[in-house]
Amino acid sequence: MDFFRTRRWDIVGKRWLWFGLSALVMLTGAAFWTVRGLNFGIDFTGGGILRYEFAGQVARSSAEEVQVLARVRELLAKEKLTAAKVLLSEGTQLLLRTPQTASDQEAAAQAERLRADLAKAFPEAAPVTLIGRERVGPVIGRELSNAALEALILGMVLILIYVTIRYEFRFAVAAIVALFHDAFVLTSAMAITHMELDVTFVPALLTVIGYSINDTIIIFDRVRENMRIHKRAPFKEITNVSLLQTMRRSINTTVSTLFPLVALFLMGGPTVHAFSFAMIVGIVTGCYSSIFTASPLVVLWREISERRAGTPTAASRAADELAREAREGGKAPEADVEQPVAATAGAGPEGTSGRLEAAAEAAEQEAREKRRARRKARKTKRSGKSSKRKKRF
């Protein structure tokens, strides 16, 4: 049995709680972003490339290469160069990509200190020779950043058009808002933890956006399906039930995706540390926004639109439909027999389908009560007028 389908959780009704949690995280991230800024890595800021060659071979196997790289990173940590990139080639050549220095003289002194440290750390492969030193610009330059931003905006526009055609415009806007929410929360998490942003942050962000919109579309599809099946049920109840029906799928997909990401974060090493962290935060955020942001936004927008336009509520729409059916069937609406709500729930009082039927029945009962109240008010008004006429005579 699906655990979530049998729950009576009012997810949509507590939407302001979910919106508040998202706002709290984003405001906290914005504060850290403003005070400390983002920790941009060498790929964004540029730096220097140092090439060293050992007289002997320092690594003859993959296991030895891992040990050598670990010892090199320890030396870099002593020089406060933890952000440097390390690459070992053919067991004899070492390439370091270091952060940008203030001057060329400082860069030369830094390169000489590293050469001396490498010679002490690997005496069996000494001497160590500096065969190249150069200053380079950022891997992610201004042109590439602009191209990525343009591609992201184009993708958002295409998503907006597609979701509008397939569903409604308000569905499309809610999906785009959820994507911006995911991107901002992910960036806020990087700002709060002061994690380094390198070239892997861009593909991680794009992957999270694709994951999030896929989960959102699945929930919207279930909402549309339930709207066709349960036409009399209130839209808020339809959305809430649809979220419960798809929640198991969303959580199972998220948890199964997190298993390899957590393993990569814990055992993948410094090279993929920032990427795996961004993916973990993004996947969790994408699941959260699909359930607690996108769909409640659609419900809120629809309620505001109906309130401003004076659109009939679900109860009045049900009353009109009952009256039309009564006229076509040649009987009065009052002849309808009011049955308990639980009796109308085909899937039981705890089934999601039964809850939609119960909501529709409750709306119909409310409509019948309003009709009775209006008839009683009209009768009272007519009796009052007739009594006034009798007093005149």
Structural domains of the chain, with CATH: 4-39+141-309 (1.20.1640.10), 47-136 (3.30.70.3400)
Query: Quick one: tokens of 223?
Result: 């909402």
Percent of the chain scored above 90 by pLDDT? 23
Higher per-residue confidence, 251 vs 82:
251
**How much is the average pLDDT of 42-62?**
79
**What sign does the CA torsion over 34, 26, 276, 157 have?**
negative
Of the pLDDT bands very low, low, confident and very high (cuts 50, 70, 90), residue 16 is very high
pLDDT digits over 118-157, tens only? 888 888 877 888 888 877 666 656 666 777 788 888 888 9
Residues 6+ apart with CB under 8 A from 215: 250, 253, 286, 287, 290
Q: How far apart are alpha carbons 6 and 13 in whole angstroms?
A: 17
Is the Cβ–Cβ distance between 184 and 29 less than 8 Å? yes
Of the pLDDT bands very low, low, confident and very high (cuts 50, 70, 90), residue 178 is very high
Of the pLDDT bands very low, low, confident and very high (cuts 50, 70, 90), residue 68 is confident
Q: What is the pLDDT of residue 352?
A: 55
pLDDT digits over 314-327, tens only? 544 554 554 455 44
Q: What is the pLDDT of residue 346?
A: 38
Q: How far apart are alpha carbons 44 and 218 in whole angstroms?
A: 36
Count of Cβ atoms closer than 10 Å to residue 243 Cβ: 24
Q: What is the pLDDT of residue 342?
A: 34
Query: Quick one: tokens of 275?
Result: 């990427």
Q: How far apart are alpha carbons 227 and 235 in whole angstroms?
A: 8
Q: What is the pLDDT of residue 72?
A: 85
Compute and round to an integer the Cα radius of gyration of the chain: 32
Omega of the bond prior to 340 within 30 degrees of 0, cis? no
Is the Cβ–Cβ distance between 123 and 55 less than 8 Å? no
Does pLDDT of 330 surpass 50? Answer: no
pLDDT digits over 346-382, tens only? 344 445 555 556 655 665 666 667 677 777 777 777 6
Query: Quick one: tokens of 333?
Result: 């609406």
C-alpha separations of 67 from 92, 98, 389 in Å: 14, 20, 106
Q: Which of 88-97, 115-124, 338-347, 355-364 has the lowest mean pLDDT?
A: 338-347
Highest mean pLDDT among 153-167, 300-314, 331-345, 356-370: 153-167
pTM over 0.85: no
